[in-house]
Structure 1
């Protein structure tokens, strides 16, 4: 994770002085979130009652992202911050953001979720292999149906606490979102049930919860947040070949070199995905469709 430079801390002190003023004078109530899928859920529930500021830009990794000075000002003008849980950006910045913006309420949207710990190899449930990322737990809860429900519920409750006068609007938006999540689950189950136990390869272990939920096996190229050594790469190639995996997933935020090598050596399709997409429903269905080989591009 990149170092946080001293000049940024100085900026935070300056921003903190104007934070309260920005919140009082702003006509539109604003909350900040870490990633785009959170913005999707929040806007489904709150409509136009709140402006949703997403900190991590498209194409950037929320594991290592450092906010710009302009973003620090935007965060300081937020009534609340909805954190996804324990992703790298939040671990590096959250304490400082709270200390510089004491009036900003922070809600943890992972509260109530059965989290997967890093040290778990998940062999007991057979849903993942070599999954790891920075922090003590896997933060990618939005890539599962159960995680989406937890996020939706916590988001709704947060809006009600911030604005109890409009709680019926938030409850109605939440109910519509839950219906969408339910229909997404039904469509994904239809696509993925025949694949129970099947494996897929991915560079960064973003789909651990997804794999656990649908009985799949995730094989990760990235190990301990780093590129694999030649020996580890050789072992992964052997495991991938034995697993019968047909797809290697890559994300634009990460290097594709080793993923391309593994795809070539195993004969797997190399497919770019975007779990950080704002369009949560579309991306979840796309994942299931690709794994099921029904996206029109399978061999």
Structure 2
């Protein structure tokens, strides 16, 4: 039988060697060698529970948002203990970890980042507070979309910059997705001369992206099942390295999860195929990756990270009436006042699209059916 580092058999061998060494230091080498094997065996049995507990202790992993928690749990199950910073109802854009969470993160060995805005502010501080913590950026290098003119806004700490950026856009980008299948969700502001650089480095620094003229990076990449498959592969690789004794189990879970996500992607594409090119009105522009993947267009009620002014509200209502919008979409992390006000003016329904729901699969299925129902309602008017 072969042994690999970190396997239960290898751990027991190391433990027995340490035990014999300790007995030799206490009794002397000659006396230790003269002990009956039964005595050494009994000592090993008495101490074995501690070794087994250490060997089977779950790996403590920190993540930012519930969908990443769901993914890590699907991959490693009971072999990990997960700390999720952003709880239901919180916003990952303006979130600040609690003092208790900061203290807890000072001992966490692994942080799986996904590129949400608060991580850009807090991760350097957390790394400084815990030099032993391994930080893996699951989003790094993925093709990143950027907020377009109908969705431009700023998140929390960067709101002032977002206002300035938003002023340079016009109000119509209805042709953004004409080449959707070839470009996999890139928006029309993506410049050809930056493509190679963008593929290698996009998605990690929103400020850098703005400097390149691309606008603010959209962090909600997990809402695209195809990008989520890449995230799963990266997370599985890290978890297998940190939990080698469970590597084969994690790998099997990874393959099963990738298959499930691929099937989900096909189901959503089939359901939404009749509505290609259609747009929907959402308070916070969090479903851009989902919209890009399935050739839809999201328009945001939110303007530069704030609720619209009365003039902007009137323009939104006029536009929604012209397009016979029958459903206004909201999420639980943001105020729904403006959305409900517009819905009331339009006699439209309010429905939920939640980017942070804990059950990833059910959430994307729900989003698909909600959007389909919204389009059908518009068509019936």
CA offsets 1:130-150 (integer angstroms, 9 cap, x no match): xxxx86410001111122112
The alpha carbon displacement at 1:75 in A equals: 1.7
User: In the alignment, which of 301, 304, 322 is matched to residue 221 of structure 1?
Assistant: 301
The alpha carbon displacement at 1:84 in A equals: 0.9
CA offsets 1:37-91 (integer angstroms, 9 cap, x no match): 0011111111211111111111111111111111112222211101111x12212
- 2:105 matched to which residue of 1? 75
User: In the alignment, which of 125, 129, 141 is matched to residue 177 of structure 2?
Assistant: 125
Task: Using structure 2 for the length normalisation, give the TM-score.
Answer: 0.65
The alpha carbon displacement at 1:293 in A equals: 1.6
- 2:95 matched to which residue of 1? 65
Distance 1:206 1:75 in 2: 27
Greater helix share, structure number: 2
- 1:38 matched to which residue of 2? 68
The alpha carbon displacement at 1:190 in A equals: 2.4
User: In the alignment, which of 122, 134, 147 is matched to residue 105 of structure 1?
Assistant: 134
- 1:162 matched to which residue of 2? 242
Tell me which of the two structures has the higher relative contact order, counting C-alpha pairs closer than 8 angstroms and 6 or more residues apart: 1
- 1:181 matched to which residue of 2? 261
Gaps of 5+ in 2: 1-53, 151-172, 179-184, 189-205, 208-215
CA distance 1:199–1:244, change in 2 (3 Å): farther
Gaps of 5+ in 1: 1-23
User: In the alignment, which of 367, 370, 379 is matched to residue 287 of structure 1?
Assistant: 367
The alpha carbon displacement at 1:111 in A equals: 2.4
Within-5 A mapping of 1:260-279: 260-279=340-359
Query: Is 1:238 aligned to residue 268 of structure 2?
Result: no
The alpha carbon displacement at 1:244 in A equals: 3.5
Distance 2:282 2:148 in 1: 19
CA contact (8 A) 1:219 1:240 kept: no
Distance 2:313 2:349 in 1: 18
Distance 1:234 1:144 in 2: 32
CA contact (8 A) 1:111 1:154 kept: no
CA distance 1:201–1:120, change in 2 (3 Å): closer
CA offsets 1:184-223 (integer angstroms, 9 cap, x no match): 1122122211111111111111100011011111010111
- 1:92 matched to which residue of 2? 121
Query: Is 1:48 aligned to residue 78 of structure 2?
Result: yes
CA RMSD of aligned residues (A): 2.7
- 1:141 matched to which residue of 2? 221
CA contact (8 A) 1:111 1:150 kept: no
